[in-house]
Amino acid sequence: MQMTIRKPVQISGVGLHTGCRVSVALKPAPEDSGIVFRRVDLQGFRIEAVRRHVSRVVLATTLMKKGVMLSTVEHLLSALYGSGIDNVFVDIDSLELPILDGSAGPFVELLKEAGVKEQKAERTFLRVVREAKLSDGEKWIKIRPYPAFRVSYEIEFSHPMIGLQKLDLHVTPETYARELAFARTFGFYSEAEDLLKKGLIRGGSTDNALVLTEDGLLDGELRAPDEFVRHKTLDLIGDLSLCGHQILGHITAHKAGHALHTDLATLFSNSPSLTRKVTESDLSQEGLAVAL
């Protein structure tokens, strides 16, 4: 069945790129609402978290509707999708989500505080029915049929703390919270000055990102040796949520990023030959059970 949260909850912080203070309140939403952002600083202007509103994918995923922008949405969307939340209102008083500690962990904890409420309407899934691949040079993403939501991600950087990292995970609320939510965003110190000149990462610090020097970290320690690929997987899940449905299929990504992630969300939304919408009743009749 579809899920929303049981009670309103709130969190605040600074935007990674704007550096502005921002408050976010999550509130229960009716069945079939999906995830809806409401800019309370702009008379509650609504921006639905769907692929057609994606406007930019440089260093973060940005939504825009009728000229109203909302940036760095991927960590919250990832937490909601990974936690199995279908419907929620997200009230926000600025143009960028707070970066918090750079992971989805604080959002997952916020959802635990809110609790989960089962609704009366059935959940609809997008089931992958045939293989497909998206490529951009050496970057690519493949999809293939699979009876659950499975993600395999591979990254490679010429840095001694990263190198080649791989992760393969069957994603459920339990595995998401345990294996992915804690993983923080990362960047390279050598690129920081240029990004600041472009008006980006004004709220960035070692408190909310892993900052890599030539041979190590600028400050702090890793939460896991492969925290980097875990964060990329977290980002992928947030971007895929923009297709509007939970996915049944195996996603394999190689050196991908926000652009390919959101292209795949578009493919899921606009290619009926690749996917088929199925309800929980459909799956039950086929003798399948989904762990969500």
Q: What is the pLDDT of residues 80-91, one digit of tens each?
A: 999 999 999 999
Is the confidence at residue 174, as pLDDT, over 80? yes
Q: What is the DSSP letter of 211?
A: E
Catalytic member of 17, 250, 258, 261: 258
On whether the CB atoms of residues 92 and 22 are closer than 8 A, the answer is yes
Q: What is the DSSP letter of 123?
A: P
pLDDT in tens, 236-290: 999 999 999 999 999 999 999 889 999 999 888 788 889 999 988 888 777 655 5
- What is d(CA 91, CA 207) in angstroms, rounded to the nearest whole number? 25
Is the confidence at residue 291, as pLDDT, over 50? no
pTM for the whole thing?
A: 0.92
pLDDT in tens, 16-71: 888 889 999 999 999 999 999 999 999 999 999 999 999 877 778 999 999 999 99
- What is d(CA 225, CA 125) in angstroms, rounded to the nearest whole number? 33
pLDDT at 191: 81
**Domains delineated in the chain:** 3-118 (3.30.230.20), 124-285 (3.30.1700.10)
Q: What average pLDDT does the structure give for the chain? A: 92
Query: Is 75 considered catalytic here?
Result: no
- What is d(CA 124, CA 116) in angstroms, rounded to the nearest whole number? 18
Is the confidence at residue 292, as pLDDT, over 70? no
